[in-house]
Structure 1
């Protein structure tokens, strides 16, 4: 069953991963509608999110990368109550569950570094109550196809997606979208 986030990703399959202020300025000049915000602090997060929202973007905040926050569920509550963000990304299942409980979009991120991390992915996905899964690196079409077959959840390929060939290989392998900080990829 498609979630609202999966439907958005189907319409806008290139997600801009923004890692700094220069990336923020660049994404505001781009056509990317969905933004993964990978930087910010307790002090500036509400303003950064608002700049993106004022420009009509769908914003998901990586709560694992925020400065000044601890890895606790209260961070998700802060994002919900103090920003206009649409959702969060996290590699922690409890953070993803907390986001869903608060009505936020939730993307569960996985770093696939070996067969152990691959084999642990499906059980974690079942427990996290996520909208989508993001796997990193996203430049592994063979692995993307395995994961898509295993989890039955919309999958975003992120990290090291560097060019047109990477984008099309990931989408052909079954990813519903790609996420990249590469501005050339945003322009596709």
Structure 2
């Protein structure tokens, strides 16, 4: 799947499905593929450089946009040359990172960039605002999802699409995040992937140009 095709597929999928599968164990890859019609994409948080291309190729073959959490994958360099290799050889739809400089370089290389932020206290809100002044990723992910009222506070200073995840156990908890303005939720719980259909979301997601 070409970068342009995977970008379009992901944002088109977010208009229909509000669930993203976070894969932390290889055994859940087949489950995500089986439920791909209920997902807008997958976040890969497992593996190492030796198996990574095989995983990504498998998702690309099934036209499932796959994002790599760069801090969770072994042996992968996140300098510019490592990201260039990732974009040209591994070919995911995009990346997830907590690091502003990594997001900046990945975006230059045509990858969809999702920057992850942790909301531990009010200082976390300030860190998001400061980071977005330096580089604007394509989307942001807020962790954990169990503080849905914070989504509205973040939306007050950015128009970027918001994904939220972490500590989700029930479908109702995921729906509460969407009701508070999240564009999608991410979960590592396959039971939530199965029950993802029919969750109403927010307005249409903007596409990356």
TM-score (norm 2): 0.83
- The corresponding residue for 1:177 is 184
Tell whether the 8 Å contact from 2:145 to 2:165 is kept in structure 1 after alignment: yes
Asked if 1:42 is matched to 2:49, the reply is yes
Tell whether the 8 Å contact from 1:63 to 1:75 is kept in structure 2 after alignment: no
- The corresponding residue for 1:78 is 85
User: Number of residues paired by the alignment?
Assistant: 186
- C-alpha deviation, 1:83, in angstroms: 1.1
1:118 to 1:39, Cα distance in 2 relative to 1, 3 A = same
Secondary structure of 2:71 counterpart: coil
Secondary structure of 1:138 counterpart: coil
- C-alpha deviation, 1:13, in angstroms: 1.2
1:15 to 17, 20, 30: 20
Q: Which runs of 4+ in 1 moved over 6 A?
A: none
The CA RMSD over aligned residues, in Å, is 1.7
Tell whether the 8 Å contact from 2:16 to 2:40 is kept in structure 1 after alignment: no
Structure 1 portions without partners, runs of 5+:
none
Secondary structure of 2:21 counterpart: strand
- The corresponding residue for 1:68 is 75
Asked if 1:136 is matched to 2:143, the reply is yes
Structure 2 portions without partners, runs of 5+:
1-6, 197-209
- The corresponding residue for 1:124 is 131
1:8 to 1:99, Cα distance in 2 relative to 1, 3 A = farther
- C-alpha deviation, 1:11, in angstroms: 2.5
Q: What pairs with 1:146-157 in structure 2 (closer than 5 Å)?
A: 146-157=153-164
